[in-house]
Amino acid sequence: MKNIPLRERTAQKIDDQVAKVLKGLGNPEPPLRLTDVRELLLLDQQYYSSTDDGALGEVASRLRVAGKQVLARPTLLVEAIKTMDLKALYLPDQKRILLDKEQPEAKWRWNEAHEITHSILPWHNSFMQGDTSLTLTPTCHDRIEAEANFGAGRLLFLQDRFKEMAQDTEPTIKAVSGLKGVLQEHAHKHPVALRGAK
């Protein structure tokens, strides 16, 4: 995906939303616990497997709100994930994040932060909950994704915290590499496998 520059105002608005989240968590020390973020935002999260149609279909068919199945055709979700090669998705009307556990473990955290960012940007929610007869253009889709990527970076690196930490360390590759352990939450070794929807 090519790099798409954001307008300064848009980047600031995204950063403002990230700041609200971090403030809500009491401006935590690194590493940021995404479970805490999801708890604050009342987001549910499930893992699915993109290589296991049966398991994915089971997740889709068990998505329920207040006991009612929310997807009339769960197979559509399976098709969408496979056709669009989705690595994660956010279902705004259910405040639910679905993550592909077949992705490399190192990417889980990023994918989760990306979907969380979609959930905290009001205009993303407006676009995602819009008329289903509309199709976003590739340009619009790329911009939405670029905005979510920007927000994910600001969230995971605690806005300017990484920059400040890097500037406070000696200017060597070793010193900066050492920051990785400070900022990275240990990923789940054994993700909860396909919990049923609540």
If 0-12 CB within 10 Å is exposed, 13-18 middle and 19+ buried, where does residue 150 land? buried
**Residue 142 interacting with other proteins (CB under 8 A):** no
Q: Identify the sign of the CA torsion 107, 14, 24, 126.
A: negative
Residue count, binding to other proteins (CB under 8 A)? 23
> Nearer Cβ to other proteins, position 67 or 138?
138
Question: CA-CA distance, 118 to 98, in Å (whole number)?
Answer: 13
Q: What does the alpha-carbon distance between residue 175 and residue 170 come to, in Å, rounded to a whole number?
A: 6
Residue with tokens 């968590």: 25
Site string for other proteins, 110-129 (x = CB under 8 A): ------------xxx-xx--
Closest distance of CB 109 from other proteins, Å: 25
CB of 137 to other proteins, least distance (A): 5
23 binds other proteins (CB under 8 A): no
Out of 100, 112, 115, 147, the residue judged to bind other proteins by CB under 8 A: 147
Check: CB of residue 116 under 8 Å from CB of residue 150: no
**CB-based contact 50:89 (threshold 8 Å):** no
Distance, CA of 70 to CA of 38 (rounded, Å): 21
Q: Which lies closer to other proteins via its Cβ, residue 66 or residue 134?
A: 134
Return the structure tokens found at 8. 């300064």
Q: Are 29 and 45 in contact (CB under 8 A)?
A: no
CB of 16 to other proteins, least distance (A): 11
The verdict on 83 binding other proteins (CB under 8 A) reads no
Q: Do 103 and 111 touch, CB atoms closer than 8 A?
A: yes
Q: How far is the CB of 125 from other proteins (least distance, A)?
A: 10
CB of 147 to other proteins, least distance (A): 8
CB of 146 to other proteins, least distance (A): 10
Among 13, 64, 95, 107, binds other proteins (CB under 8 A): 13
In the complex, which residues of this chain contact other proteins (CB under 8 A)? 6-7, 9-10, 13, 122-124, 126-127, 130-131, 133-140, 143-144, 147
